[in-house]
Amino acid sequence: MRRETLYEPFEIVLKELDECPKEGHEHNFFELIYIVSGTGQQCINKNHFDYHGGHLFLITPDDCHSFKIKETTQFLFIRFNNIYIKNSALHQESVQKLEFILQHANHQPGCVLKNKTDKSLVKPMIEAIIREYVNRDLYNKELIRQLINTLIIVVARNIAKYLPEQINEQSEEKALGILEYIQSNICEPEKLSALNLGNVFGISESYLGRYFKKHAQETMQDYIMKYKLKLIENRLLHSDLRIGEISREFGFTDESHLNRTFKKYKGTSPSGFRKIYK
């Protein structure tokens, strides 16, 4: 898979495209993508989301993403790395929080702005960034940097609301590693067994459950199931996959197994959920 590298602390690209010039690819940097105008579909880690003007996406290092453009789209790409965050004149405590939130974002398809008030805040900021980028007026670089700093903080605020409450920048690195491993292997049940996780992270099988609950304040099985069901909700809302296809993708024995589990946690069947919310 193609992997791109950023050679500057940050970079801005404004493009109008009729088709995506790249197949699915990865970065070694962060990328904020704002849809100025146009429609199409975003794909990130096999999840799909229909986009339109005003949507803002965050792509983190190692995410695989691409776009399918339906209507000519103007994109604003804001690319930055950890060096940029550390050199942005923020307090050290704020830098640590930003790095943690961005690195451990629990990524799902869709606009990263969940707060409606923040959507109205971000639009004029994006317009100002584009204006300074196009006009290249006096002090444009300094103004753009300040606007990007504010934008990143707004994005971090929206992400922070969806992280597990007990997991923060003070949590042990091993606990964070377990979460990341679970998220990366959510479709491979054999990798999520207590035996395998214990071997990967050097924790005895008997102690692993207590260790996880101590840091996440919920059992590992509950966390795995809730995370899996959240991804299944996204499949139901943002894809045309059949229920049987979704059940196989996430390791359920069959469609009826997924139906029973989904109804237990969500109070309705997957097809009922899709009918109600899509």
Terminal Cα-to-Cα distance of the chain (whole angstroms): 32
Provide the β-strand partners of residue 15: 75
**Average pLDDT for residues 11-15, to the nearest whole number?**
93
Residue 165's pLDDT is 54
At residue 268, what is the residue type? T
Two structure tokens written together for 56: 């803002």
Q: How many CB atoms lie within 10 A of CB 191?
A: 14
Q: Which CATH architecture has domain 2-160?
A: Sandwich (2.60)
CATH 1.10.10.60 given to domain 173-277: yes
**Average pLDDT for residues 197-212, to the nearest whole number?**
88
Residue 89's pLDDT is 60
Looking at 98-112, 118-132, 191-205, 256-270, which range is the least confident one?
98-112
The upper half-sphere exposure of residue 209, i.e. CA atoms within 13 Å in the direction of its Cβ, equals: 8
- pLDDT surpasses 90 at 72: yes
Q: Report CA-CA distances (Å) from 60 to 103, 135, 147, 174, 224.
A: 7, 29, 20, 20, 22
Measured on CA atoms in the order 224, 230, 235, 238, is the torsion positive or negative? negative
Two structure tokens written together for 12: 């801005």
Residue 130's pLDDT is 96
Q: Which long-range contacts (CB under 8 A, 24 or more apart) does 145-149 make?
A: 145/10, 145/88, 148/10, 148/78, 148/80, 149/88, 149/89, 149/90
Q: How many CB atoms lie within 10 A of CB 8?
A: 11
- Tell me if 75 sits within 8 A of 17, measured CB to CB: yes
Domain boundaries, the chain: 2-160, 173-277
Residue 104's pLDDT is 61
- pLDDT surpasses 70 at 109: no
The packing angle between helices 205-216 and 173-184, to 10°, is: 100
pLDDT digits (tens, 9 = 90+) for 88-101: 666 565 666 677 67
The packing angle between helices 220-238 and 270-277, to 10°, is: 50
Residue 257's pLDDT is 95
- pLDDT surpasses 60 at 166: no
pLDDT digits (tens, 9 = 90+) for 33-66: 999 999 999 888 777 888 999 999 988 887 888 8
**Average pLDDT for residues 256-278, to the nearest whole number?**
91
